[in-house]
A and B are shown apart, each in its own frame.
Chain A
Amino acid sequence: MTSVDIKEKSNDVTTGGGGNNNLDNFRGGGGGGDDSNDKNKTQPKEKKSSPMLFLLFAIIPIIMFFGAIIFVYIVREMGKAWKPISMPSAVVSSTLVLIISSFTLEIARSALKNKLLEKFKRWVMISTVLGIAFFTSQLVAWKQLMAKGVYMEATNPHATFFYILTGVHALHLLGGLLGLSYILLGAIYYRFTAEKRAAVDVATGYWHFMDVLWIVLFVLLFVWK
């Protein structure tokens, strides 16, 4: 037993008990000198937390949240009261706009990687505008439905799901839009510390996730039967 202990010790001190070295490049360099004292055995290594990890752990509960609502949706769809509503045309344009915005955001991100700040600024701006266009388009979709007399009412579950799923999704996307505005401000004032660069990765990652989530919801609402 004791010999095992000694072995374990010699293994672990050198590896530093980390376990997420692959995330190192997301750690801001702001603190500085994080890894320099690795060899110094009397000083523990100080670690910074990882924004990408935060993104991952933010996405998991969101998946559970939407998963629960989708579960209710699928069960209710088998019920007698289900009358499918026709798709408001604006939903298609919403979907396209959101997909395009994911691509423009990727362009922006790679521009930042290549240190093309002007280009980065332009494409973040375009993505933000597209994001706002998505919200507008969703509002139009709501208007279109209401014009047809489809409201959120107990006797029409499909319609209530439409309003609620789009509403809750929009609420989550609002967080993404705030993230975009934040990095847009950074781009305008050219303040790009490593920390801000990590924010770009997080914001784009979140945005893509919201994009995929919307496609899932779209398929669920209007394609899947």
Chain B
Amino acid sequence: MRRIICLRKYLFSQDHKIIGLQYYLLALLAVFVSITFSVIMRLRLTWPSDVWFIMSKLLPTAFNETGQMTPEFYLSLMTMHGTIMVFFVLTLAPQAAFGNYFLPLQIGAKEMAYPKLGLISFWLTFLSFCVLLSAFFVTGGAPLTGWTAYPPLSSIVSSQPGQARGMDLWLVSLSIFSLATILNSINFLITVITKRTTGMSLMRLPLTCWGWLATAMVSLLAFPVLLAAGLLLLFDRTLGTAFFLPSGLLIDGKVISLTDGLPLLWQHLFWFFGHPEVYIAILPAMGFVSHFLATFSRKPVFGYRSMVFATLAIALLGFLVWGHHMFIAGISPYLSMTFSLLTLTIAVPSAIKTLNWFGTIWGGKIQLTTPMLYSLGFISLFITGGLGGIFLGQSSLDIYLHDTYFVVGHFHLIMGSSAIFAIFAATAFWFPQIVGRQMNEDLGKVHFFITFLGVYAIFLPMHFLGIAGNPRRYAEISEFLYLNELQPLHKFITIAMLVTVNVQLLFLINLITSIFAGKKVKENPWKATTLEWTSSSPPSKDNATTIVYRGAYDFSLPGANKDYFMQTEDLPNNSLDNS
């Protein structure tokens, strides 16, 4: 009996806070699994011929007779690394984890609109993670197609060992994941629309909530398309259809004819989802950063309204640019040009946001706490990564840079590293609210500085590798003379990676020890304005809800007798001189 209660309370709880934590832990598990894969990949890339005794004992199928890891295994790791990072880390942590936990708290709701839906979404997501990892253990192993799963490689079961059951499991996993994300998004949208407390008008929402709201809208429109494409691909593989299978291919010694499927269709569907997906990762992150910058500069967010509109504009424009991933796929040059132009227009709302961030910190009383440092790190990485994007958005330049390490460097900076920095910031910022203690600031600062320099050391040189012509998704470059000269740079990247990855243990240690031994803090230690700080920390099961009287960022109001007003504070007449 006790045990059942325990299960109800922690495993199958409908409390949005528990669900948020479960998502966070899943993302944390996923990120460490995926980083491990990337370490193995880098080692294989840098020291291809070294024999790996321990691994070859553990995973004999991944090694050939000479004791070298097979290129196929490298590609499997790469596929799983990308898939896990994009879906189980960047889609889950900012949106599902922090969103489930803090959205109801910040809008003053007692719970999400549909608590059961939250529960179902989480366990579906968990199931999909298990299905994904199980691809390693079936005959043939995990798929090799990369996270983009382009046909015909992905649609032909006999093309590679990994393209057998492993690919099916990958597709099933992502279908379950899409379903879970759609349900979660419905829950988010209805919560924001119906559950806001009295006085919480849309223009008083914290920008974090705008990020979650926009992301839920984008997910609701994008994930069904991935689901449809994934099912069609699965049918191609299992039911003998040929949606994406062109005619004239030689399969198992037979030329297939009269199928007339179009691999390009997959690319259209995939990137119609895939490009918005990068905004799914970055929009909540942008919300976090806007929020933290205001709090730690003790200034209102600069241009709150333009921030909201930029968020919505990015969400909308995100659906119109998918073709920039297909410049070399044989689409018409006019279409390329259109996509190129549309891609560059996204730079406008992105630039508005960036300038507003500078406007927010400009002249503020800046407090360099760890969440603030991570947020500043985010901005730096976002700008650097974004500059690479301007190159890739030109169809003429992308023809050269596509499928080189330039792309790898670009998206690791802008979506990988910067979103992860926002997650670090959010963790450090909200930790006191969740646990009632603070994470260690010194440890956090050391972690920040090394990681910040580390990701630049890893991903900036990748741009040069790309310009020098190093293709991506290659397990080995030692066979190519022109690439041999790049090997020292690869070594440098790998060493930087080893340092940076190990420094992540600092974060983990900080996270775990702070739960038990962190500095105890009073309520609202950052002197923030939003509603989550009005409920006790650690929060009790029931959220306190109160009336909201003001916008989310009333810091340093002119003439006010104190530095900040919480959203719940009615305006006392004597606190302002009504100038």
Contacts and interface: CB of A to CB of B under 8 A. Distances in A.
B265 interface: yes
A220 interface: no
Question: Interface size bucket, B side?
Answer: 35 or more
B265 to A, nearest CB: 6
A75 B558 contact: no
A45 B194 contact: no
Given A44-B108, A69-B228, A81-B259, A164 B241 contact: yes
B194 A5 contact: no
A54 B224 contact: no
A43 B191 CA distance: 19
Given A53-B194, A160-B241, A44 B545 contact: yes
A58 B268 CA distance: 24
Contacts of B551: 5, 8
Interface stretch (A16-24, A95-103, A113-121, A185-193): A16-24
A18 B201 CA distance: 7
B189 to A, nearest CB: 6
B224 A68 contact: yes
A17 B58 CA distance: 59
Contacts of A223: none
A82 B576 CA distance: 74
B548 A154 contact: no
Contacts of A46: 110, 545
A57 B194 contact: no
A152 B198 contact: no
A214 B323 CA distance: 31
B262 A79 contact: yes
A68 B269 contact: yes
B391 interface: no
B549 to A, nearest CB: 5
Given A5-B550, A13-B198, A20-B193, A81 B247 contact: yes
Interface in B254-309: 256, 258-262, 265, 268-269, 272
A17 B201 contact: yes
Contacts of A44: 108, 197-199, 545-547
B265 A72 contact: yes
Contacts of A16: 198-199
A167 B483 CA distance: 51
Contacts of B191: 49
- Highest count of chain A CB atoms <10 Å: which of B222, B269, B549: B549
A202 B231 CA distance: 27
A224 interface: no
Contact of B243 (A43, A76, A82): A76
Interface of B: 108, 110, 113-114, 182, 185-186, 189-191, 193-202, 204, 220-225, 227-229, 231-232, 235, 239-243, 245, 247, 256, 258-262, 265, 268-269, 272, 545-551, 554, 557-560, 570-571, 576, 578-579
Given A2-B560, A50-B190, A61-B186, 16 more contacts: A8-B551, A17-B197, A17-B202, A41-B547, A43-B547, A54-B114, A57-B186, A60-B220, A61-B220, A64-B221, A68-B272, A79-B260, A152-B239, A154-B245, A157-B242, A160-B241
Closest 7 CB pairs of A and B: A81-B260, A154-B242, A68-B228, A49-B113, A64-B224, A65-B224, A61-B224
